[in-house]
Structure 1
C-alpha cells in the first residue's frame, strides 16, 4: 500500500466511521499535505513505511517549521495540524498495524482556555429588534435575518442547523427535530415568537420554492450562506455599538446562559444544545458564575 492509498483509506474512515464534516476533512487534508511535504523535503522521499516510523524529533522539527514560517501558525492552528497528523497515525495503528507510540505521546502547544461570551438579555433582544430596521434592504431580507437569529437565540441552534431547514419543515409545530453534529438528533420545543418570525419571513420571501428546498434564501434566490449570517451580524453590532463578541454563535451561547440563569438544569441545557459532553455545556456555568461574581463584587456593601 502506498502513502496515497493510506491517505484515501483514512479519509474514507473519517467520513464513514467518524462522520467528520466536509470542513474537518478539508482542514485535515491541508494539514496532511503540509506534513508529508515537510517530510519529503527533510528526507528526500517519504513512503508509507517512512511516515509510519517518524520520531518525536521529526514531529518537533515539523512544528518548529510551521512556527517559523513567514506567516507562522497560531498555537490553536498548530494544535489542529497536530491533531490531524495524530488522527492519521491512529488510523495506521488501528487498521494497518503500523503503530507509533512517539506520535501518540506528542503534545501540542498549550492553549489558553476560551469561554463563550454571551450577550445579556437586553443586548440580545435589542439586536433582534434592530434586525427589522435596515432601510437599505427589502423587508423580506430583514425578516429572513430576524428568523435566522431567532432560531439561534430562541432554540439554541448552530448556524448550520438553522440554515439546514427546508420548506417542508414549516410551519413549525410545538417541537422541532434537528440533526446536529455526528448525526445526533434532538427534539427542541419551539417558542411562539420563533414560529411567528419564520412565518413572517416565509410569507414575504419572493421565490417559488419546492418542499425540499432550503428555507432561507439569499438576495438572488440561492441558498443563504453562513458567511452572510456572520457579515450581517458584524454590521448590526457596529450599528448597536456592541463588542466583537456579538457573533451569531454568541446567540447560541446566550440561549444557554439565559436558560441557566432562569433555573434550567445543566443536563437539560446539554440536551437542548446537542452537546456530546457535559463538560462542553459546563463552560456556560463558568460564564454565568463570572457574571454573578462581578455583580456581587460591585454591589456588596463590603466590596
Structure 2
C-alpha cells in the first residue's frame, strides 16, 4: 500500500476524530512528506514494504539530513515524534511490526534562557502606566515594579499574601516545584 494514502487517512483521523488543530496537522503533514521523500531517495520505495525494511540507522540518517538542511533540533524532535505516532498508526492499520523503530529516543534540546527586558523598556512602560490614575492602573504599576524589581514570576507574585507586606529586606518566595528562594 502506498504511504501517501495511509498518511492522508491518518491526518484525516487526527483532524476530524481526535480534533487536532490545523497547525498541528499541517506540521505533521510536512514532516511526513519530507520523510516519504527521503524514504524514496534512500530506500527506493514509498510504500509499506519500504517501511518494513527501515532500520533505526535510516531514521537517524533522515534526522541528520534535516539538521544538515538547517532545520532546528526542536523541529527535528517534533518530526521524530510525528514519525513515531505515524508508525504506531501503521502498525495498527497494516498489521506490521515497526516496534524497533519506536525505540529511538528524542534528542535532548538545549533550553534557552529567557532574555531580560531592558531597563529602558521597563522605565518607558512604567512611565506610560503611571500616567493613568485609577486604582487598578496604580495596582498594575505596583505589580510590574514588583515583578521586574524582585524578579518574580507572575504566579509567585499572585501567591504573596498580606502577611508578607510591607516587604522586608529579604523575601522568601515559594516558586515552581515548591522550591524556596530568597529574593533581596
CA distance in 1, matches of 2:78, 2:113: 18
2:77 maps to which residue? Answer: 79
Instruction: Please list every run of 5 or more consecutive structure 1 residues that lacks an aligned counterpart in the other structure.
Output: 134-192, 194-242, 244-252, 264-283
Q: How many residues align structurally?
A: 149
Q: Is the 8 A contact 2:43 2:50 kept in 1?
A: no
Q: Is the 8 A contact 1:89 1:99 kept in 2?
A: no
Deviation of 1:17 after TM superposition, in Å, equals: 3.5
CA distance in 1, matches of 2:26, 2:161: 40
What does the per-residue CA deviation read over 1:67-106, in whole Å, with 9 as the maximum and x for residues that have no partner? 222xx22221110111111111111123332331122101
SS of 1:110's equivalent? Answer: coil
SS of 2:26's equivalent? Answer: helix
Instruction: Please list every run of 5 or more consecutive structure 2 residues that lacks an aligned counterpart in the other structure.
Output: 137-147, 163-174
CA distance in 2, matches of 1:86, 1:65: 18
What does the per-residue CA deviation read over 1:8-40, in whole Å, with 9 as the maximum and x for residues that have no partner? 111022113332111111111111111111111
1:150 maps to which residue? Answer: none
Q: Is the 8 A contact 2:39 2:50 kept in 1?
A: no
Deviation of 1:48 after TM superposition, in Å, equals: 2.4
SS of 1:293's equivalent? Answer: strand
1:259 maps to which residue? Answer: 158
Tell me: higher relative CO, structure 1 or 2? Use CA pairs within 8 A at least 6 residues apart.
1
1:272 maps to which residue? Answer: none
CA distance in 1, matches of 2:115, 2:156: 10
Q: 2:176 aligns with which of 277, 285, 291?
A: 285
Q: Is the 8 A contact 1:52 1:89 kept in 2?
A: no
| Structure 1 residues 19 and 58: alpha-carbon distance in aligned structure 2, compared to 1, 3 A threshold | same
CA distance in 2, matches of 1:128, 1:25: 41
2:23 maps to which residue? Answer: 23
CA distance in 2, matches of 1:257, 1:64: 41
CA distance in 2, matches of 1:92, 1:129: 59
| Structure 1 residues 129 and 60: alpha-carbon distance in aligned structure 2, compared to 1, 3 A threshold | same
Within the alignment, does 1:34 sit opposite 2:34 as a pair?
A: yes
